[in-house]
Amino acid sequence: MYQTILSDASIYRLLLRLDEDLAAEARKKGCGCSGRLHSARYRRKPRGVPEELQEEYSVRHSFCCAQEGCRQRTTPPSFRFLSRRVYVGAVVVLLTALRHGATPARVAQLRAIVGVSRHTLERWRKWWLEDFVQSPFWKLACGRWASPVDKQTLPLSLLESFRNPTAEERTVSLLRFILPLTTTCALQET
């Protein structure tokens, strides 16, 4: 079920539209000094994106205050990018989740399709199981669920805790949940 999302360009298009909405909201809000925000997008070289969307995923929305003397940068949260990680957020979430729900052969096949090394996948798994669960973000947010999320099967258990009817909707819900982690260095980068 989650395997098909990785090769479905429609979810990546949806995440792009959601990022554009977040960028429009940030720009409309303006800078904390009341200055207008100008576009200051920066280039990314994301991995794990379908080839037909590579160009759209090659920039991250960001803004710079137009007020002389301020020039504060504003980078809105992102559904596409999980902080500074090279692979897009959906790939980090879904491939790590599949470690708990798919056969080893299927995970190996998906790793080959997306181009993720076994070492990288293990680093992501370690991040979910150790760094993520120790983060202030998780410690504040984990009480949100009526029944506890199994920390040993993160992020699969977190995906399954969302009650959306489809795997795509649960994936978007999880990416929405971790939006605060997409613009901060609160967690150790991997």
104 in Cβ contact with 12 (< 8 Å): no
Residues with Cβ < 8 Å from 66, sequence gap 6 or more?
Answer: 35, 36, 37, 38
> What total of structural domains would you count in the chain?
1
User: Token pair for residue 79?
Assistant: 């559904």
Query: Which among 153, 44, 48 has a CA at the least distance from the CA of 91?
Result: 48
63 φ/ψ angles, rounded to the nearest 5 degrees: -135, 160
Tokens 């613009």, residue? 183
User: Token pair for residue 33?
Assistant: 């000094």
Instruction: Kindly report, residue by residue over 133-167, the tens digit of the pLDDT.
Output: 999 999 999 888 888 899 999 999 999 999 989 99
Instruction: Kindly report, residue by residue over 8-58, the tens digit of the pLDDT.
Output: 999 999 999 999 999 999 999 999 999 999 999 999 999 999 999 999 999
157 in Cβ contact with 93 (< 8 Å): no
Domain membership flag for residue 10: yes
Domain membership flag for residue 188: no
Tokens 């959906």, residue? 90
d(CA 152, CA 133): 10
Query: Which among 89, 93, 88, 80 has a CA at the least distance from the CA of 17?
Result: 80
Domain membership flag for residue 28: yes
Averaged over 101-129, what is the pLDDT?
A: 83
Domain membership flag for residue 190: no
pLDDT beyond 90 at 187: no
Domain membership flag for residue 189: no
Query: Whole domain around residue 56: which residue ranges?
Result: 3-182
Residue 101 or 71, more confident: 71
